[in-house]
Amino acid sequence: MDASASSTDLHPPPVDAGGGGANTIEPEGALLVSSAPAATSGTLASLAETFPASWYELESVARLREGAREKSTSTVWSLTYRLTRGYFVANNLEMGGVAVATHVCRAPLVDSSGEPRLGAFCNKVLVLYRQKSEGKLGPYITTKAIAHCSERHQGTDVAAATAARAKTLAYKRQNVLLAGGGQAGASLSKLVGQGKFGGMVLNLKQKALCAQVKAEYDIFLLFFRHAIALKCEQAKGNAFAQAQHDGGTLQNRKKVQVQALQWMDPMNKRNHVVVFALSSLAAVSTLEEVSLPTTDQEDDLEGLSLDPPSMLFPVAAAHTDANVAKDYTLNLESSTRAKFTEVIATSIQDGAAGGVAGHLPLRLSEQEICNVHSASKIGAAALGFLVRSRMRTEIDPFPCGKKVCARILAVAKAFSHAKAREALARIAEKLPESPKLTLQVPLNGTRIAASHDLFLSVLRMSKALRIYFDAQDGPTRGIMLTDEEIADALVFEAILYIVSKTTTLAQDEHLFNGAILVLIKIMTLRALRADQLPCIDLNSPVMSAHPQRIMVPVSSMSACAQEAVTRAKLAAERRFAGNDSLELTGAPLKLNKRELLATILDVRTKGCRHVPQAQREQAFDLCLDELCTFTERCEDYDAAKAAAAAAARVGAVRQRSPSFADAAPSRSPRRRLGGVGPSEFLSPGVGSAADETDPWAHLQVEAAPALPSAACDSAEAAAAALVARRASIRVLARSQLIRWLKLEIDFRAEFPDERLPPTDDEAGEPIPLDIVKDLMRLPIGVLYNKMIAAAGSFALYGYIPLMASCSAGQIGALGAESFCERVLSAANLVLDEGNTCLKPTTVEMLVLLRINRDFMDFMRATYPHLSQQPFNVTVPDPADADGKAGGEA
């Protein structure tokens, strides 16, 4: 556009740079012209001469109108001023709704020494646009203003903040090849999606990046197979792991099945929970037995030194229980190179996929549902979010509960802007008993824990909220809860507090809490059925994150609160006690077989004092059957291993002496019986005075039976010998189990470094240890290792200590499949709404590497020789990483 093209052209006022020609305002785009009206060259124009005060907003006004709305970029408004209509009128501009110039940069210019030049300003005209919100014009978008300040004014706060963000981004780019991981790497996947690699930090082509991911995935497969092989060797042919799976739809609209595995480390150091496949199931009715990769996938598979799992192949299957089970089996066996029946003993899934367990060859064929989902539904039912219906008609609606929740949410949303939050914070500072915190607005509508955070934050700030709303006028004043609503909210929060332990136990998945969950569910049922509930004491002098609570009788509560308590009891009985009716029955906790076994095998809970007598006897019989089967398999495994070793030795010796085989002695299965005393630290308690509180006091140890003959001349004799052997094993196993149940362990002596309560209080009274508060976080695996290695331990307890980590009743089994849900969340981060330059197979590898990073770190530290990486650095094959195809990633 030329200056003479139109009489309405905008002529921005000039600024003389001094010592030369006029320094005109640089135009933004093609809407402005660079020609200036009359200006005296060589003179230093003042602010009033170049930009009259009426042509732009004052700094304070700009901050008030714009900076408060743009918290993250508020500093830009100290340099960028908004032009008023007077500026356009003075330049004969017909606006007509067209944004030609909106702001001007008033950053002072500096000379070569960095000193500001008196009266010299940038005067860069900027065109900023407003955000649209519900048909109204919102704050200005400051992207161009920030870019201008960062480029032209390096010494400003805006430029410094931009440089700091760029430094943080560069640091994250360095960790991309480690597949992210941890909170600091949460957005690394977005770098892959945006394809912004390059510069001094990371300069990889797409093929090189894919090769790096594949090389690291090779190491993962190596570690995974080695860990499973070690565990199979330790378990001696017994299944030991727990299967986990969950389906979901990613942000790129791709349906996947997350397939994971849980097992206890062979050294009992920790639990391992590893995802080994993200399987894509197509919507067809049958599952293909053999699935070949496409051409693109064959290119992706180049360079893998190990056979990849079937997750890398397009498997066609419908999302039915049978197909999901078969797909899980195929992927597990291809990933681990082990048979399904040698690895998986139990499985856990959400309620929608409960039928998958019936199609898996599990050691314990039962449907175990995720307890996090179940406990979350207890709270949802109590608040009225979950109702039962018949023929699309609600049977038990709870509008009163929904109203209280809506009122609480309205209070929290009233402080969604900074002005209200700052006013509330000033009030809280003047109240010593009131905390200073931000009210929590739930963003997750599927987990009741978010609603608990909402109730807890509002109730803790109730005094400050009361003062704030009393000072308001109009409709805002009516947002505050009434005294009756606060009383109901206290009851609702108490219910969510009771179920919170069950919903948050999954966060401690590295601990061995397979039997502790039973205790927590019993505690939840008892607390909900009690005549009093633990409500927050609003009159407490200190309102901490764990506020003081007082017991409030249910009979003194309002009708709405009492109905919420009844709904919580009914939902708890339905989820935990198997009560599907609409009436309370008071039924006891319903335990599955895995929970019964874990209760016996865990040294912290084997007393079973929290279990009713009928379930206690059921647990004893079930554990006895499992111990017999476990012992028989272990002996067969040892015998087969010894026979194979003997055959190998015979084959080596036959080359020298053919007659050696005839002289080789036969070996019978290993059986350690009497003759060895108990270890120093084990005190079985057999023969001592019976404890009146001991639920196993009536059990007596039987004499050890005679071993059957190993020689069998016929099939009938072999069958009779097998029956006699199993009978002998059962008698011996029963004696071992009784000794195990009578075993007494001094946890204070075994774990002196743990901060356990003292033996006696000041009055000399004994202090009992609480299993949940004191013993749950103990490194209990150390005790099992000590027990297995102790001299004479096998004669007393047989394979029971080994069963605790290598059987269907392993004490590390999880009570929830929330790990699989976190995998789906990680996949959505990597995919970044589907905008990625990596192929699906590479993205799946990246997801697996990210979520399994703790496992990789553990294996690298424990087995550093496996990966053959002296510097713990994954280096791909140069032939794979030096390709020219793909361009910049």
pLDDT tens digit sequence for 469-511: 988 887 888 888 899 999 999 999 999 999 988 888 877 888 8
**412 with 440: CB under 8 angstroms?**
yes
Region 143-160 average pLDDT:
83
Positive or negative: CA dihedral 111, 115, 119, 122: positive
pLDDT digits (tens, 9 = 90+) for 803-840: 999 999 999 999 888 888 888 888 887 776 555 667 77
Region 386-396 average pLDDT:
84
Based on the fold, state whether residues 114 and 26 are members of the same structural domain: yes
Based on the fold, state whether residues 343 and 381 are members of the same structural domain: no
Based on the fold, state whether residues 296 and 343 are members of the same structural domain: yes
The pLDDT assigned to 484 comes to 93
Region 269-273 average pLDDT:
92
Tell me whether residue 669 is in a domain.
no
Based on the fold, state whether residues 345 and 377 are members of the same structural domain: no
Tell me whether residue 199 is in a domain.
no
Q: Which domain holds residue 551?
A: 373-591
What is the bridge-based pairing of β-strands 344-348 and 241-249? Answer: parallel
Last residue of a domain, one of 575, 591, 607: 591
Mean pLDDT, the chain, integer: 75
The pLDDT assigned to 691 comes to 41
Based on the fold, state whether residues 281 and 430 are members of the same structural domain: no
Based on the fold, state whether residues 393 and 510 are members of the same structural domain: yes
Q: Which two tokens stand for residue 592?
A: 């599955």
Last residue of a domain, one of 537, 558, 591: 591
**398 with 384: CB under 8 angstroms?**
yes
Region 595-613 average pLDDT:
91
| Spatial separation of the C-alpha atoms in residues 533 and 382, rounded to whole Å | 14
Region 104-124 average pLDDT:
78
Region 851-871 average pLDDT:
83
The pLDDT assigned to 629 comes to 94
Region 438-453 average pLDDT:
81
The pLDDT assigned to 873 comes to 61
Based on the fold, state whether residues 340 and 378 are members of the same structural domain: no
The pLDDT assigned to 878 comes to 56
Positive or negative: CA dihedral 677, 679, 681, 682: negative
Unique residue bearing structure tokens 């300003």: 121
91: pLDDT confidence band, cut at 50, 70 and 90?
low
Based on the fold, state whether residues 25 and 79 are members of the same structural domain: yes
Region 683-708 average pLDDT:
54
| Spatial separation of the C-alpha atoms in residues 765 and 851, rounded to whole Å | 48
Based on the fold, state whether residues 362 and 378 are members of the same structural domain: no
- Of the listed ranges 23-27, 94-98, 387-391, 814-818, the one predicted with least confidence: 23-27
Out of 76-85, 134-143, 600-609, give the one with best mean pLDDT: 600-609
Region 836-859 average pLDDT:
85
Tell me whether residue 788 is in a domain.
no
- Of the listed ranges 294-308, 345-359, 479-493, 791-805, the one predicted with least confidence: 294-308
The pLDDT assigned to 223 comes to 93
Q: Please state the domain count of the chain.
A: 3
DSSP conformation class of 702: P
Tell me whether residue 253 is in a domain.
yes
87: pLDDT confidence band, cut at 50, 70 and 90?
low
The pLDDT assigned to 159 comes to 84
686: pLDDT confidence band, cut at 50, 70 and 90?
very low
56: pLDDT confidence band, cut at 50, 70 and 90?
low
| Spatial separation of the C-alpha atoms in residues 489 and 411, rounded to whole Å | 12
Tell me whether residue 56 is in a domain.
yes
Task: Assess whether pLDDT exceeds 90 at residue 259.
Answer: yes
Percent of the chain whose pLDDT exceeds 90: 28
Last residue of a domain, one of 545, 568, 591: 591
Return the bridge partners of 369, or none. Answer: 349
Based on the fold, state whether residues 385 and 358 are members of the same structural domain: no
CB neighbour list of residue 718: distance below 8 Å, 6 or more residues apart: 712
Task: Assess whether pLDDT exceeds 70 at residue 63.
Answer: no
Classified as helix, coil or strand, 755 is: coil
Based on the fold, state whether residues 464 and 525 are members of the same structural domain: yes
Region 782-789 average pLDDT:
91
pLDDT digits (tens, 9 = 90+) for 561-599: 999 999 999 999 999 998 888 889 989 999 999 999 999
335: pLDDT confidence band, cut at 50, 70 and 90?
very high
Region 662-689 average pLDDT:
35
**494 with 532: CB under 8 angstroms?**
no
Region 60-70 average pLDDT:
44
